[in-house]
């Protein structure tokens, strides 16, 4: 069933994407509604899966972690076996993102790993259990990630975060900061008093550390994950291979993609594909039109591989800190 978003819902979503931890009173003041109406509408958006999750986004490269993207082509897989594979991968603590898709690849995974050794250990566990069902595969390393404005949904976006991860300044976390991030990983909306109780820290200490991590740009955003399926859109991840490009060429391409109203996220990669772009579109015809236009204007896209996302099983951008 398609949920009918109205202008008031969109204003609320816009505010929550900017800062999902702000109070209902704060949102109400900014969108011109009462606190009670905002509270009711937020609950309705969650219940109808328009808001699929509340997220704390951190720049994992600042703490020496890295995203490793893996694309798998499964073979000889029944629905029951696919469900078993998905459940196994979902429960791996290093997995930050997991989806099934239609296209050249059936499963896409993002591992949050401390180093290549940890990443390799994760892949070995999958191979050991499901080697007879995994065919072709690709590994990519994410070097930079940037959210786009979603202008198809928010034509007058109030805020634009230039990146989520990709900076090189290293931050050394202390035990208290790790404990706080672990709590936010479990629940991005957890009240400060509950974080304090769960970590045996004082309320003021928790508040000060969160502000410190925000000032350091380690915590990039408290935001929401919007589910395009709920209001009738399709979600594609487009894997792009570039040809004979300079740094300036790639910058122009990123600006082209970011200006496209349907763009959602841009990832710079090392590997067979140079970029992965997420888009929300009405159908594959709209996707084809958008990608052809970007390809023609940029002049550096050699080829691209669209994947239709079927279902997202996991989305968490905070590492489990097992080896920190």
Using one digit for the tens of pLDDT, what is the confidence trace for 272-322? 999 999 999 999 999 999 999 999 999 999 999 999 999 999 999 899 887
Cα–Cα distance between 96 and 217 in angstroms, integer?
A: 20
Which is higher by pLDDT, 170 or 177?
177
Q: Tell me if 143 is assigned to some domain.
A: yes
pLDDT-based confidence at 168, cuts 50/70/90? low
Which residues contact residue 301 at a Cβ distance below 8 angstroms, ignoring those fewer than 6 apart? 240, 241, 242, 243, 253, 294, 295
Question: Residue 228's pLDDT is what?
Answer: 97
Which residues contact residue 267 at a Cβ distance below 8 angstroms, ignoring those fewer than 6 apart? 67, 69, 142, 144, 145, 146, 275, 276, 277
Cα–Cα distance between 306 and 125 in angstroms, integer?
A: 28
pLDDT-based confidence at 243, cuts 50/70/90? very high
Q: At what angle do helices 116-130 and 79-90 cross, to 10 degrees?
A: 150
Q: Which candidate, 151, 140, 85, places its Cα nearest to that of 313?
A: 85
Residue 141 burial (CB count, 10 A):
14
Residue range 116-137, pLDDT digits in tens? 999 999 999 999 999 999 999 9
Question: Residue 114's pLDDT is what?
Answer: 92
Residue range 74-89, pLDDT digits in tens? 999 999 999 999 999 9
Span 253-258, average pLDDT: 93
Span 249-277, average pLDDT: 94
DSSP 148-173: ---TTT-TT-S---S-SB--------
Helices (H), 23-64: 24-31, 35-47
Are 82 and 121 in a shared domain? yes
Residue range 150-159, pLDDT digits in tens? 999 998 765 5
Are 44 and 71 in a shared domain? no
Are 88 and 144 in a shared domain? yes
Q: Tell me if 204 is assigned to some domain.
A: no
Residue range 187-223, pLDDT digits in tens? 999 999 999 999 999 999 999 999 999 999 999 999 9
Range of the domain at 267: 61-149+227-315
Q: Tell me if 162 is assigned to some domain.
A: no
Q: Tell me if 32 is assigned to some domain.
A: yes
Which residues contact residue 27 at a Cβ distance below 8 angstroms, ignoring those fewer than 6 apart? 12, 15, 16, 38, 42
Q: Which two tokens stand for residue 216?
A: 């350091």
Q: Are 301 and 243 in contact (CB under 8 A)?
A: yes
Are 255 and 143 in a shared domain? yes
Span 251-255, average pLDDT: 92
Res. 165: pLDDT tops 90: no
Q: Are 238 and 279 in contact (CB under 8 A)?
A: yes
Q: Tell me if 56 is assigned to some domain.
A: no
Q: Tell me if 169 is assigned to some domain.
A: no
Cα–Cα distance between 89 and 69 in angstroms, integer?
A: 13
Are 10 and 119 in a shared domain? no
Cα–Cα distance between 101 and 305 in angstroms, integer?
A: 12
Res. 33: pLDDT tops 60: yes
Please, what is the average pLDDT of the chain? 93
Q: Tell me if 159 is assigned to some domain.
A: no
Span 45-74, average pLDDT: 95
Q: For residue 5, what is the domain's CATH number?
A: 1.10.10.10
Are 137 and 2 in a shared domain? no
pLDDT-based confidence at 170, cuts 50/70/90? confident
Count of domains observed in the chain: 2
């Amino acid at each position: 069933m398609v949920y009918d978003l109205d202008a008031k819902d969109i204003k609320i979503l816009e505010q929550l994407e900017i800062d999902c931890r702000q109070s209902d009173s704060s949102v109400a003041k900014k969108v011109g509604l009462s606190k009670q109406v905002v509270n009711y509408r937020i609950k309705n958006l969650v219940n109808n899966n328009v808001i699929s999750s509340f997220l704390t986004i951190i720049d994992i490269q600042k703490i020496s972690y890295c995203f490793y993207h893996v694309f798998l082509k499964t073979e000889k897989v029944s629905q029951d076996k696919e469900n078993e594979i998905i459940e196994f991968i979902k429960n791996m603590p290093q997995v930050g993102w997991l989806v099934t898709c239609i296209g050249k690849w059936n499963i896409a995974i993002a591992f949050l790993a401390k180093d290549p050794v940890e990443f390799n250990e994760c892949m070995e566990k999958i191979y050991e259990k499901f080697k007879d069902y995994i065919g072709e595969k690709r590994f990519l390393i994410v070097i930079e990630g940037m959210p786009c404005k979603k202008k198809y949904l928010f034509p007058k976006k109030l805020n634009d975060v230039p990146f989520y991860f990709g900076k090189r300044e290293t931050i050394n976390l202390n035990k208290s900061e790790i404990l706080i991030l672990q709590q936010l990983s479990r629940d991005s909306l957890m009240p400060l008093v509950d974080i304090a109780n769960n970590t045996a820290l004082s309320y003021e200490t928790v508040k000060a550390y969160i502000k410190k991590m925000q000032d350091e740009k380690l915590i990039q955003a408290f935001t929401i994950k919007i589910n395009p399926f709920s209001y009738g859109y399709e979600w594609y991840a487009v894997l792009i291979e570039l040809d004979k490009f300079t740094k300036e060429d790639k910058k122009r391409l990123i600006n082209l993609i970011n200006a496209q109203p349907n763009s959602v996220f841009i990832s710079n990669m090392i590997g067979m594909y140079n970029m992965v772009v997420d888009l929300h579109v009405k159908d594959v015809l709209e996707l084809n039109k958008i990608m052809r236009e970007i390809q023609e204007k940029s002049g550096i896209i050699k080829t691209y591989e669209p994947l239709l996302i079927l279902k997202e099983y996991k989305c968490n951008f905070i590492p489990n800190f097992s080896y920190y």
